[in-house]
Amino acid sequence: MTLTRRNIGLLLAPLLAVMMWGLTDGLEPQARKVAAIMVFCLVFWMTEVIPLSMTAFLGVVMAILTGIADVNTAFQNLGHPIILLFIGSFLLARSMTRHGLDKRLALFILARPFFQKSLFSMFLGFSLVSYVLSMWVSNSVTVAMLLPLTIGVLQLIPDPAARKSSAPFFLLGIAYSASIGGVSTIIGSPPNLIGVNYLAKEGISIDFLQWMIMALPISLCIYAFMLVYVRWYFKKFNFSPEGIRTYVETQSREQPPISKGERITMGVFLLAVVLWLSPGVFNLLGMEAAYTFMSTYFAESTVAVLAALLLFLIPPGQENEGEGTLTTADLVRIDWDTILLFGGGMALGQLVVSSGLADVIGASITTFVNPDQLLLLVFVLVGGVIMVTEVSSNTAIAITFVPIVIGILNQLHLPELYPVLGVVIACSMAFMLPVATPPNAIVYGSKQVPIGTMMRTGMFLNVVSTVIITAWIVFYMSR
């Protein structure tokens, strides 16, 4: 048998699961079974033996077959409101891509004279588009859309050596900006929703605006450090603004007139953003009745589904008579793998909590941790998650580790909100390897990013991210 990554996973998963079973004979039977299943699933996730979502479902099926949970309990998370939030926000993003609104917005920003003054200014334009779009649109879609535009601009750098040397940083910049920007909103990245869901089960409710108020400063700090690093590097290269200006103008001229589909998509998107932010605004203003009304009738998941329904209902013009802005064909084009991974993963995560395994892990770790050493604890949790996420899906890591972190915090009698926020953000801050995040994989696939460059740059940002996230979380907890 050829020793491929998949075959290694097929061999290691059952072997390590059996070893975990043998090493945990002191646990309660349910917790012991869950530990073995989680090790099995972690190996499958890291080696991608089967699609990530199917690994999550395999874990749930194993839990049913071993008597840990009945079928109704095991699969109830597939109907969770956050699944609807995922589906609605993915459909909204799909409408942007289908009608070309995302590309139009990118070219509009890049056409500004400020972004054409220097190589760094142009990089700032691309990275800013990636950063902002990823708050609302899938990180993968954002990078896939910007990649051909970025490569086109890079071809206009006259010096071949400068072009070859600067290309990796341009491409890594749009990938990293998407990952960094994605943590700024609840819908920006799957781990954000996972963290909000687990906190809700602990009685801690976070609305859309509250998440932005907490996460955006952290995101902006990491983004700023990335810009400083790249600016220092780009000082080495000459740059001709004329060629870039001509390229952007050509691309803009080739854009068709703005369509009704784009206008409808933009209108529905703005409506969704207003409704998502309204409860938090009312809460900040002390308008309790309005906050209660909006939270009850316009929860994030309700707004996402409402936005998607409007896009299916409103026709985009006579050329598509009888169809909506979105059609049945668009339903199969969204990221169902992530949606199913989230549903199955939440079920697995809930088993980690309900079986008592999270508390057992938390209790064992707390024997080595002094609760007074808050800075060290947060640093270890955040840094550990960032490194583990390098070799596995950020969604899978969030599903696995967030309930364990909650168990640790419960054992130490520490507040859960901010450390969980830090761990969730850390799940998206993996910059070293192509397998760490889809944006990394997309730009690596362009063949213009050497793995050594990605690892060196990524290691720097991993360390910076760990320090920044830790500093902000400790600051939040000390207020």
Q: Domain end: 331, 355, 370, which one?
A: 331
Q: What is the pLDDT of residues 369-425, one digit of tens each?
A: 666 777 888 888 888 888 877 766 677 778 878 888 888 888 778 888 899 999 999
Q: What is the pLDDT of residues 44-65, one digit of tens each?
A: 877 878 887 788 889 889 989 9
Amino acid 371: pLDDT: 66
Amino acid 235: pLDDT: 64
Rounded to the nearest angstrom, the gap between the alpha carbon of residue 181 and the centroid of all alpha carbons in its chain is 9
Contact in structure between 394 and 195 (CB atoms under 8 Å): no
CA distances from 13 to 9, 17, 49, 77, 219 (A): 6, 6, 10, 25, 35
Q: What is the pLDDT of residues 355-379, one digit of tens each?
A: 877 677 766 766 666 667 778 888 8
Confidence of residue 180 (pLDDT cuts 50, 70, 90): very high
Amino acid 440: pLDDT: 80
Shared-domain flag, residues 327 and 225: yes
Q: Half-sphere exposure of 100 toward its Cβ, with a 13 Å CA cutoff?
A: 12
Structure tokens at 238: 């000459």
Distance (Å, rounded) from C-alpha 362 to C-alpha 417? 16
Q: Domain end: 73, 100, 129, which one?
A: 73
Amino acid 366: pLDDT: 65
Contact in structure between 198 and 421 (CB atoms under 8 Å): no
Shared-domain flag, residues 45 and 89: no
Shared-domain flag, residues 174 and 288: yes
The answer on pLDDT for 435 being more than 70 is no
Q: What is the pLDDT of residues 458-476, one digit of tens each?
A: 888 999 999 999 999 999 9
Mean pLDDT on 267-280? 83
Q: Where are the beta strands (DSSP E) in 123-218?
A: none
Domains: count for the chain: 2
Shared-domain flag, residues 63 and 122: no
Residue 45, domain member (yes or no): yes
Shared-domain flag, residues 139 and 283: yes
Residue 27, domain member (yes or no): yes
Shared-domain flag, residues 40 and 180: no
Residue 179, domain member (yes or no): yes
Shared-domain flag, residues 34 and 160: no
Residue 443, domain member (yes or no): no
Amino acid 155: pLDDT: 67
The answer on pLDDT for 280 being more than 90 is no
Shared-domain flag, residues 131 and 180: yes
Amino acid 391: pLDDT: 60
Residue 288, domain member (yes or no): yes
Confidence of residue 176 (pLDDT cuts 50, 70, 90): very high
Q: For 228-240, b where at least 16 C-beta lie within 10 A, e where not — what string?
A: ebbeebbeebebe
Shared-domain flag, residues 198 and 224: yes
The answer on pLDDT for 5 being more than 90 is no
Range of the domain at 199: 82-331
Mean pLDDT on 118-124? 79
Residue 204, domain member (yes or no): yes
Residue 469, domain member (yes or no): no
Shared-domain flag, residues 112 and 155: yes
Rounded to the nearest angstrom, the gap between the alpha carbon of residue 352 and the centroid of all alpha carbons in its chain is 22
Per cent of the chain over pLDDT 90 is 16
Shared-domain flag, residues 14 and 113: no
Q: Domain end: 331, 357, 372, which one?
A: 331
Shared-domain flag, residues 132 and 57: no
Q: Half-sphere exposure of 227 toward its Cβ, with a 13 Å CA cutoff?
A: 18
Residue 383, domain member (yes or no): no
Amino acid 18: pLDDT: 93
Confidence of residue 451 (pLDDT cuts 50, 70, 90): confident
Distance (Å, rounded) from C-alpha 419 to C-alpha 327? 41
